[in-house]
Structure 1
């Protein structure tokens, strides 16, 4: 994997770059749709390529380990072939499940023992085991095993957790790079910055992660309940320290406003379930603000979802029809709204890239942030 920094905005730290993987290139900044179990909910791979125009998607190590399992994935030749996806892919490490499934896990220096949420069976995820699982999945970009502490979090716990995450990262690096690729193409490992909401710990963690000299770096442990101003402050802190010649991935973030604010600090990569999860509840994001498509005011609104969009779905279906589908509880509502939202998120980062290259990002962002937070 290579990363080329192509341009930095003159009035911010926003960056336009290019990531080259063995499955293709990714123009940054980029938003990555989340395909937890090898599927972005309610969408086909054709939807993702033709309508959403996704350049890279995510898979979830924990869930793919449980179903369909690494044996099936290896028989298929990896997740790319299993799901018929020939573009880049990233897998997380299961570390977020350490956070989100707190009632079903135990953390030790050795690793994390999960109680399977499907049938109650126990599984030990060591850093080495996670590397084995991610190798079997076959993503172009892999994440180290980490612990994501909750917010708020006691300083001593955050410090202890951070140092353990660092030790796990070293074990992941040593194990991953001790073996050849499984499917004949490179898999690139990213370490993860932790440290809770404490600036001194975040500084230490960022410096440690940078010292590992891996192909890219991730900022983790944010968007877990902390106020946005704290998230922005800690993201900016890490971006000021991280090397300029490697991609920066802010994990699990976020809203359109979050994306633009963090792009201005120098973040290159984002992922979040928000656009598809909110789509299934009737919320869609537009250039003018957020619409609740279940509202009665759209009952006889026969205008397109977004007449300015180059997405066929946005031009083809009216607001009234989408509202009808939600009220009738038709599954097609989930598909249309999810395509719209993901296309919008991809449009937003592509527009950001254009404005970065034109040195107009800062002024464009100021206008867009005000619009994007508006409830229509």
Structure 2
């Protein structure tokens, strides 16, 4: 993997760059649609490729490990071939899922014992096994195994967890050297900064991760309930330390406003289930504010879904029709809303990139934040 920093915004820390892997180019800043179990929920790969058009999507190690399982993925030739996706894929390591399974898992130095959310069967993840699983999945960018701490989290726990994440990182790096890639193309490895919302821990962790010398770096343990101000403060601390000549990935973030504010702080890559999950509940993100399409006010609004939208659904369907589909509990409504929201997120990050290259990102961002912070 190669990263080129093309331009910095003169009035913020925003950057425009380009990542190149064996599966093509990724123009940054970028939003990565979440394809947890080898599918971006409710969207065909053709729609994903032709209408939403992301350079990269995300898969999940924990979920893919459980289903369809490593045997199937290896026989298929890896996740790309299994799901019919010839562009870039990033896999997270399962650390967040371990965090979310707090009632059915036990964390220790060796790794994590957990029970499947599907059938209750017992499993074990270690830094070494997670590296082997991600080799088998075959994503272009793979993540270190880490512990994602909850919010709030007391200082002692956050500190101990951070140091364990660092020790796990060393084990991941050591084991990756022993496990070759499987499908004839390279894999880039990103370690993850932790430290909860404690400034000194975030600084210490960012320094440790920077010293690891990986080709890219991630920021984890945020967007787990902390106020937006804490999220931004932690991102700023970490971005000031992580190398400028390598991409920075903020995991699991967030709202459109969160994304723009973190781009301004120097983050390059984002993923979040919000555009797809909220779409299935009738919430549409637009450049002019957020629409709850279930509201009665849209019942006889026959205007296009979004005049400024970039996907075909934005012009093809009216607000009244989409409201009707949700009222009738027709799954097509959720699909339309999902395509719209993902298209909007990709449009937003690509607009950010254009304005960074033009040198006026800060003023554009401030105006967009005001506009999007409205309920229509």
Q: TM-score, normalised by structure 1?
A: 0.99
1:158-307 matched pairs, under 5 angstroms:
158-307=158-307
1:72-87 matched pairs, under 5 angstroms:
72-87=72-87
1:90 and 2:90 matched:
yes
1:1-376 matched pairs, under 5 angstroms:
1-376=1-376
1:231 Cα deviation (Å)? 0.5
1:236-258 CA-partner distances (Å, limit 9, x unpaired):
00000010010000000000000
2:328, 2:374 → 1: CA distance? 27
**Which structure 1 segments of 5+ residues have no match?**
none
1:216, 1:141 → 2: CA distance? 9
1:311, 1:98 → 2: CA distance? 35
**Which structure 2 segments of 5+ residues have no match?**
none
2:255, 2:309 → 1: CA distance? 19
1:195-227 CA-partner distances (Å, limit 9, x unpaired):
111000000000000000011000000000111
2:46, 2:204 → 1: CA distance? 43
1:102-141 CA-partner distances (Å, limit 9, x unpaired):
0010000000111111111111100000001111000000
What secondary structure sits across from 1:348 in the alignment? helix
1:309 Cα deviation (Å)? 2.5
CA contact (8 A) 1:51 1:313 kept: no
1:322, 1:120 → 2: CA distance? 38
What secondary structure sits across from 1:103 in the alignment? coil
1:117, 1:312 → 2: CA distance? 36
1:324, 1:67 → 2: CA distance? 35
CA contact (8 A) 2:143 2:190 kept: yes
What secondary structure sits across from 2:103 in the alignment? helix
1:3, 1:178 → 2: CA distance? 25
CA contact (8 A) 1:131 1:176 kept: yes
What secondary structure sits across from 1:58 in the alignment? strand
1:292 Cα deviation (Å)? 0.3
Number of aligned residue pairs: give it: 376
1:310 Cα deviation (Å)? 3.0
CA contact (8 A) 1:195 1:205 kept: yes
Shift in alpha-carbon separation, 1:310–1:119, aligned structure 2, 3 A: closer
Q: TM-score, normalised by structure 2?
A: 0.99
2:157, 2:179 → 1: CA distance? 34
1:312 Cα deviation (Å)? 1.1
1:234, 1:49 → 2: CA distance? 34
Select between 304-313 and 193-202 the one with higher mean Cα deviation.
304-313
